[in-house]
Structure 1
Amino acid sequence: MDGTVEGFRYGAVTPVAAYLMACLGGALGLRCIVRSLLGARSWKAGWLALGSAAIGCGIWTMHFIAMIGFHVEETRVRYDTATTVLSLVVAVVVVGAGVFTVGHRGPGARTLAVAGSVTGLGIAGMHYLGMAAMRLNGDVRYDPWGVTLSVLIAIAAATAALWSAVTVRGMGTSLGASLVMGIAVSGMHYTGMAAVRVHVHDATGGTWAGESPMSLLLPMLLGPVVFLLLAAAVVMFDPLLVLGERPAAPGPGAPAAASAAPSRPSWHRTAPPPRGR
C-alpha cells in the first residue's frame, strides 16, 4: 500500500533551520572564494578548499536538517550511517571540483557551464544518495518529472553560486547572493522530496536497519555545524576577507620603499644615445 508521507513533521522549524544553514554555508563559501582571488597565490588553494568545504557542509546540513521533518506514518524511518557519511563526502568533493575549476580558470561562459553542471549534478547526487541512506519497511519511488526538475534547479543554483563567487566582491552583495543560493538549494531539496512516493510493505519487521533519525542525524550534524561556525570565525577575523578588497595604496607618509617611483610600462623604450662621428 502507499504510505502517507509528511515532509514538515515539526512545522516550519526544520525548513527554516535548513534554509539558514544553506545560507550560512553559501555565504562563507563565497567569501572564502573571494579571498582566494585577493591574496597571495600561495594561499589560493587553501581558501578554495575552505570555501568548498563550507558550501558542501552547508548543503549537506541543510538536507539532513530538513530530513528530520520527513515522516512516513505507516513505518519508522531510519538511516544507514555509512551512506549518510558518504553523501557528505560527495557534497564536499564535487562542490570542490566546481569551485577549483572556476577559481583557477575564471568566470568564462564555458567554464561556468561545465563547472556549474558538474557541481549541480553533485548536489543532486548528494541529495539522492542521502535519500538512499533511508531504511524503512517499504520501497521509495520517485516521480521522474520531479527528479528532473530538482536536478535542473541544482545545476542552475550551482552555476549562479559559482558565478557570484568570482564576480561579487562587496560583503552586502555576497550576503544577498547567499540568500538567493539558500532559496535555490532549499527549492531543489523540497522539489525532490515532492517527487517521493513510498510503497509500504504489508509485513512488519522487514530488513530495514539503522539508527532513528533523531539519534543518528543530530550527532552527525554537530560536526559540520561546528565546522561552519569555525569558518565563520575565520571570516570575521580576516579584514581583507570581510571587505572583499585589496589594501589601499600607501599614502604620502608611507616609507620610501613603499612609495618608490612607479615602473615604466612594458611598451616604453629608452632611445639609444646618438653615435659619435
Structure 2
Amino acid sequence: MSATVSEFHYGAVTPITAYLMACLGSALGLRCTTRSMRRRPGQRRWGWLLLGAVSLGCGIWTMHFIAMIGFSVEGALVSYDPVKTVLSLLVAIAVVALGVFLVGYRGAGAVTLGTAGLFTGVGVAAMHYLGMAAMRPGGTVHYDMPVVAASVVIAVLAATAALWAAVSVSAVWATVGASLVMGAAVSAMHYTGMAAVNVELTASAAGRESSTSLLAFLLVMLAGPLAVLIVSAVVVMFDPEVMLGSDDWENGADRSAPLAASGAQSNMFSRTQGRR
C-alpha cells in the first residue's frame, strides 16, 4: 500500500535550518574561491580552491540531511545505510571540487562555465539520489520521473550560478546576497526531488512507529561536515583578504602606500637634521 510521507515532521525547523546551512556553505565556498583568484601569478591557489570546494560540498550535503531529519513515512521506521550515506558526502565534495577547480584555473568563459555547471549540477543531483538510495523506509521507493528531471535541471542551474558567482562576485555584501540565492536554489532542488518520492510499504513494515534512532544517526553523520564548516569559517574570518572585497582591499593598499612613503620621508628628514 502507498504510505503518506511528510517533509516537515518537525515543522519549519528543519527546512529553515537546512537553508541556513546551504547559505553558510555557499558563502564560505564563494569567499575561498574569491581569495584564490587574487593569488599572484605563480602562487598556488589550489589550497583555497580545495577549502572552498569542501565547504560548499559539505554545506550542500548538510542541507540535504538536515532536511531529511524532517522526512517521515507514516506507519514505518526509516533508517539509513551508513556506507551509502558517507559515499553521498564524498560525491558532493568531489563534484563541487571538479567545478570549482575548472573555473578557478580556466576562468568563467561560457564553455568552461557551462561544462563545469553541467557536471557539478548532475553530480549534486547524484548526491541527492544516492542519499535517497541509502534510505530504508520499510518499503519500495518510487519516483515521478518528470519531477526528478526538473530537480536535475534546478541542480544544474544552481551549480552554474554558484560557479559564476565564485569567480565574478568579490564584494562581501554581494557574496552574502549570492549565498542567499544559492541556498534557496539548493533547497528548491532538494524539495523538488522529494516531491517525486512515493513509498509503497511492505506488509511487515506497516504499523511500525518511528523512533529517535534515525535522529541520533543523522546527528552523528552531520557532526563531521559541521566541524569542517566551523573550521572553514574560522579560517575565512581570520584572513583579511577573504573578508574584504577586492576593491576594498586594493583601496586599502592604495591608501597605505602614500602613508608609508610619507613616513619614510619623515624618517629621512629626521636623520638629516640629526647629522646637522
**C-alpha distance in structure 2 between counterparts of 1:70 and 1:165, whole Å:** 32
What displacement does 1:227 show? 1.1
Q: Which runs of 5+ in 2 are unaligned?
A: 207-211, 265-276
Q: Is the 8 A contact 2:75 2:205 kept in 1?
A: no
1:243-258 matched pairs, under 5 angstroms: 243-245=244-246, 246-247=249-250, 248-249=253-254, 251-254=257-260
Instruction: State TM-score, norm by structure 2.
Output: 0.88
1:92-148 deviation per Cα after TM superposition (whole angstroms, max 9, x unaligned): 000000000000000101111000000000100000000000013210010011100
1:14-53 matched pairs, under 5 angstroms: 14-40=14-40, 41-53=42-54
Residue 269 of structure 1: aligned partner: none
Q: Is the 8 A contact 1:79 1:212 kept in 2?
A: no
**C-alpha distance in structure 2 between counterparts of 1:42 and 1:252, whole Å:** 27
Structure 1 ranges of 4+ moved more than 6 A:
none
**C-alpha distance in structure 2 between counterparts of 1:65 and 1:200, whole Å:** 24
Q: Is the 8 A contact 1:77 1:212 kept in 2?
A: no
Q: Is the 8 A contact 2:2 2:199 kept in 1?
A: yes
Which residue identity lines up with residue 114 of structure 1 in the other structure? T
What displacement does 1:43 show? 3.5
The more displaced of 170-179 and 225-234 is 225-234
What displacement does 1:230 show? 1.2
Residue 235 of structure 1: aligned partner: 236
Q: Tell me the number of residue pairs that the alignment of Structure 1 and Structure 2 aligns.
A: 253
1:51-66 matched pairs, under 5 angstroms: 51-66=52-67
Taking a change above 3 Å as real, the CA distance of residues 42 and 251 of structure 1, as seen in their structure-2 partners, is: closer
1:108-147 matched pairs, under 5 angstroms: 108-147=109-148
- Secondary structure at the residue paired with 1:158? helix
Residue 101 of structure 1: aligned partner: 102
Residue 216 of structure 1: aligned partner: 217
Which residue identity lines up with residue 199 of structure 1 in the other structure? E
Instruction: State TM-score, norm by structure 1.
Output: 0.88
Please provide the CA RMSD for this pair.
Answer: 1.8
